[in-house]
């Protein structure tokens, strides 16, 4: 059985924290005081909050400031280059919700996250695991 997307995301976050302190600090700073919910399926969810220079996982309850909803195939299409981020958003393959200000912070955190993973060799293995 394939590993849940949010478990792979947790491992990716740990990699960024361990290997790219600059990017991790950028992510935590961008999300400072904000909660971010990633929902891939009913049982495949993750909520993060930026606080005191770190990202902490919180229970899945209430309404997060930034809400991302997608599915495994859409994430795979995005990472394989079959769809761009803009196309994914326009087609609804990835749904975003939140205030414009919160989404701006979320986008900045996302940029730090991806930039860090591009510089970490082991991230390629995580991408392959998503393909399973």
Partner 1 sequence: MSTSAATRTALLEDADYWRGPPADVGGGWPHKEWQHFVIFGGEWTILFNLNLDGTGAARTITILDREGWQGHVAHCRNPRFRPGRLDATFDQAGMRWRDGRYEIWQHGTGVRLEGVLEPISTPSLTHNIHLGPGAHLSWCLIPRLLASGWFEVDGQRVPFEGRLAYHDHNWGRFGWGGDFSWDWGCAVPDDLASPWTVIFARMNDRARHRTTATSVFLMKDGRHVRYFRNAEVRFETEGQMAPRPSGRVPAAAALLVPDEDHDVPRWTRFEASKGEDTLSGQVEARRRGQVLIPADNDLCRIVRLNEVHTRVRVEGRIADERVHFEGPGVLEVVRG
Q: Of the ranges 2-10, 11-19, 83-91, 93-101, which one interacts with partner 1 (CB under 8 A)?
A: 83-91
* Near partner 1 in 40-79, by CB under 8 A: 78-79
CB atoms within 10 A of CB 127: 15
Cβ proximity to partner 1: between 10 and 19 the closer is: 19
Cβ at position 114, least distance to partner 1 in Å: 5
Core vs surface per residue 9-24: b (16+ CB within 10 A) or e: bebbbebbbebbeebb
Interface with partner 1 (CB under 8 A), residue from 22, 73, 95, 101: 22
23 near partner 1, judged by CB under 8 A: yes
Q: Are 112 and 19 in contact (CB under 8 A)?
A: no
Nearest to 55 by CA among 97, 9, 91, 95: 9
Distinct helix (H) and strand (E) counts, the chain = 6, 5
* Near partner 1 in 93-122, by CB under 8 A: 110-112, 114-119, 121
Binding site for partner 1 (CB under 8 A): 20, 22-23, 26, 78-81, 84-87, 110-112, 114-119, 121, 124, 127
């Amino acid at each position: 059985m394939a590993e849940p997307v949010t478990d792979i995301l947790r491992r990716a976050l740990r990699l960024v924290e361990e290997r790219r302190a600059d990017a991790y600090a950028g992510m935590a700073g961008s999300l400072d005081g904000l909660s971010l919910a990633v929902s891939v399926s009913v049982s495949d969810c993750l909520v993060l909050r930026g606080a005191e220079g770190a990202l902490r996982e919180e229970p899945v309850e209430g309404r997060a400031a930034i809400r991302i909803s997608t599915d495994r195939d859409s994430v795979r299409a995005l990472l394989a280059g079959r769809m761009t981020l803009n196309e994914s958003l326009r087609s609804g393959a990835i749904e975003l919700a939140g205030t414009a200000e919160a989404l701006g912070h979320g986008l900045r955190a996302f940029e730090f996250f991806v930039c860090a993973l591009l510089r970490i060799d082991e991230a390629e293995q995580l991408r392959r695991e998503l393909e399973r």
